[in-house]
Amino acid sequence: MHKKLFLISKEGFAVSQQDATSYGIGWKYADQQTAMPLKSDVYDVVNDYPAGFGFDIGGIEYAHTHNLDGVAFTDMKTLMVEAYKNGGFVTVSWHLGNPVSGGNSWDTTPAVSDIIEGGAYHETYKLWVKRVADFFKSVTYKNKPIPIIFRPFHEMNGSWFWWGDKNCNTIDYIKLWRETVNLLRDEYNVHNVLYVYSPNKLNATDEYLKYYPADAYVDILGIDIYDFYNTEDFIKSVQHDLNIVKNTAETHNKLFAFTETGLEKLNTAAWFTNTLYPYIKDSGICWILFWRNHTTNHFYMPYKKQALENDLIEFSELPKTLFLKDIQKIKIKK
Ligand code: BMA
């Protein structure tokens, strides 16, 4: 998978979406067919699937049957395998609950120091990681676990999650990351994962590597930047931050990606072709992930008859945008 991502980055970038086949505006997978052709808002507009498929495993830690957004883990598994067997790739975020308070990811009760080694909730956390491990190992195609691009504890430089900046100290954050990787890899034998480090948009005083767990624990560098209805500010951040990520990736010999982005409700004309494309086309990212299409108040990709439908079609025809059919052509020479 690493090699394929590298080859992708030489041709352009893989256009990806969170929950692209899980649900969209006015439909959900659970009511659809079980194999390709699967429904997808992106497919309805551009006649092709995204190249990358994002999923979130929040809820798996409690052994829930559905994730925090109502997607059944059994369905998620099917959709991950469908994505992979058709030449796409799978990224996974984890909006996990707060192990100390029992609240959600946005419950900022301090918890990181309690779940790392020596903490009162360490055993609970180990069980949580075991559940993640069991899930990752169970997503198989031809009897082999498929590659998973895992992006845990994201946006740690913000303070909205319990693992974020003001809610834990950097040393503990790094310990948590390393222990998580060690548990997955060495204790629970998970070997189908690439790990992505992805801070949120950098503020003036933020240092990209402040929470970096070290090269041995990270495979790919990333950044999350949303457009909060401020085109100028968004473009500035995209240029500035992607440049830092690129330089850092070069020094550390890593691939890098634009791990989350979007403009909620897509109400800026020509957002894909004008606001976004010019600033990412030569950035060197291997993929870009747009967030989910939940409702008409919370969506990030055009659907049929949405105002930016034609803009997404134009975007898909630009030289660097790669959808599923484009990356199917990229073959790894053995
Ligand atoms: C956030 C929002 C939430 C969602 C979470 C995890 O950005 O979309 O509604 O629950 O991601 O997918």
pLDDT tens-digit readout, 143-155:
999 999 999 999 9
| pLDDT value at 323 more than 70 | yes
Atom of ligand 1 nearest to the CA of 69: 10
Atom of ligand 1 nearest to the CA of 56: 12
**Under 8 Å between Cβ of 218 and 195:** yes
User: Is the omega angle on the peptide bond into residue 99 within 30 degrees of 0, that is, cis?
Assistant: no
DSSP character for 327?
A: H
For ligand 1, mutation pick of 68, 91, 200, 299 (most atoms within 8 Å of CB)? 68
Amino acid letter, 239: Q
- The whole-chain average pLDDT of the chain stands at 97
Nearest-CA residue for atom 8 of ligand 1: 292
Atom of ligand 1 nearest to the CA of 68: 10
Nearest-CA residue for atom 4 of ligand 1: 69
Q: Write out the DSSP string of 256-314.
A: EEEEEEE-TT--STTIIIIIIHHHHTTS--SEEEE----BTTB--S--TT-TTHHHHHH
Atom of ligand 1 nearest to the CA of 58: 6
**How remote is the CA of residue 142 from the centroid of ligand 1, in Å?**
32
Nearest-CA residue for atom 3 of ligand 1: 69
35 pLDDT band, cuts 50/70/90, is low
**How remote is the CA of residue 265 from the centroid of ligand 1, in Å?**
14
Active centre residues (catalytic): 155, 260
Nearest-CA residue for atom 9 of ligand 1: 69
**How remote is the CA of residue 329 from the centroid of ligand 1, in Å?**
32
For ligand 1, mutation pick of 19, 91, 95, 298 (most atoms within 8 Å of CB)? 95
pLDDT tens for 249-307 read 999 999 999 999 999 999 999 999 999 999 999 999 999 999 999 999 999 999 999 99
pLDDT tens for 112-143 read 999 999 999 999 999 999 999 999 999 999 99
Show the ligand 1 pocket: residues with CB < 6 angstroms: 56, 68-69, 95, 292
30 pLDDT band, cuts 50/70/90, is confident
| pLDDT value at 156 more than 80 | yes
pLDDT at 33: 61
Tokens of 76: 């998620």
Mean pLDDT of 157-161: 98
Of 45, 39, 6, nearest to 20 (Cα)? 39
Nearest-CA residue for atom 7 of ligand 1: 291
pLDDT at 276: 98
Beta strand 321-322 with 287-290: parallel, antiparallel or unpaired?
unpaired
pLDDT tens for 210-242 read 999 999 999 999 999 999 999 999 999 999 999
Mean pLDDT of 46-52: 98
**How remote is the CA of residue 333 from the centroid of ligand 1, in Å?**
38
Nearest-CA residue for atom 10 of ligand 1: 69
Percentage with pLDDT > 90 across the chain? 95
**Under 8 Å between Cβ of 211 and 173:** yes
Q: What is the 3-state secondary structure (H, E, C) of 272-286?
A: HHHHHHHHHCCCCCC
Q: Whole-prediction pTM value?
A: 0.97
**How remote is the CA of residue 88 from the centroid of ligand 1, in Å?**
23
For ligand 1, mutation pick of 22, 67, 69, 151 (most atoms within 8 Å of CB)? 69
**How remote is the CA of residue 11 from the centroid of ligand 1, in Å?**
31
**How remote is the CA of residue 251 from the centroid of ligand 1, in Å?**
33
